[in-house]
Structure 1
């Protein structure tokens, strides 16, 4: 915390946030961490989109794609559902399952990336054979990369 406070001494609001944060409250996240699920994506006339609502681990490679998908679904809901609260609830219902599935897949990938030295060497030896025989990208990532949103389909409230 001392180093962070020194580096952000002239930054507002960073300086104030760090001043009010104890050493035991500081959480750090690395490249393979997954932030906890946000329980509610909307309140009143405010709604979360993209990483604010769902931030999968960078190992998913889907952060920007999920954000764009969410923006399109939110636009569809606002177009077709006159009540904003209902539109937001429907948007969340349409998106939550997919983003949580992507996050779960990223968590699985993360656990696989934390192999020991022996497993790392064995994987390096077997991976070329595996990719030529049974690890076809279209089978491994098909559902992730073939996801489509039908813009013209009307949205009904959740």
Structure 2
């Protein structure tokens, strides 16, 4: 999916797939949409709407773009030819034992501190 340059225009902002559509192979689309909803609500609670929209995008864009990039990489790895598929199927059981789950924790252990005030941009 193409990158959306600006998520906000006047009194409207994009959220979820409208702002940051993740590949279905990432398994993260609904999760990052829910995270974005919580962050937007927190920003709207604490800041005037124009500042809230800017803060929301600044908070969310790095994380969602990282997830989208990872999904694109996963998609390109899934298009192996017959020889690549055979090699993948031979190597995958061993590779899965070597994966460090802590290396991928950033995707699944994301925490939003609801009680923390959304920061005003300077």
| TM bracket (short chain) | over 0.9
CA distance in 2 between counterparts of 1:113 and 1:57 reads 13
1:1-158 correspondence to structure 2 within 5 Å:
35-81=1-47, 83-132=48-97, 134-136=98-100, 138-158=101-121
Looking at CA atoms only, which structure, 1 or 2, has the larger radius of gyration? 1
Q: What TM-score do you get using the length of structure 2 for normalisation?
A: 0.94
Structure with greater helix percent: 2
Which structure has more relative contact order (CA 8 Å, sep 6+)? It is 2
- The Cα RMSD (Å) is 1.0
Runs of 4+ deviating beyond 4 Å:
none
Distance change in 2, residues 1:93/1:105 (3 Å): same
Structure 1 unaligned blocks of 5 or more: 1-34
What is the rounded CA distance, in whole Å, between the counterparts of 1:139 and 1:111 in structure 2?
Answer: 23
- The SS at the match of 2:20 is coil
For 1:114 and 1:67, locate their aligned partners in 2 and report how far apart those are by CA, in whole Å.
27
Find the aligned partners of 1:41 and 1:130 in 2 and give their Cα distance. Answer: 38
Using the alignment, how far apart are the partners of 2:78 and 2:103 within structure 1? Answer: 16
Residue 112 of structure 1: CA displacement? 0.7
Q: Indicate the SS of the match to 2:110.
A: coil
Q: TM-score, normalised by structure 1?
A: 0.74
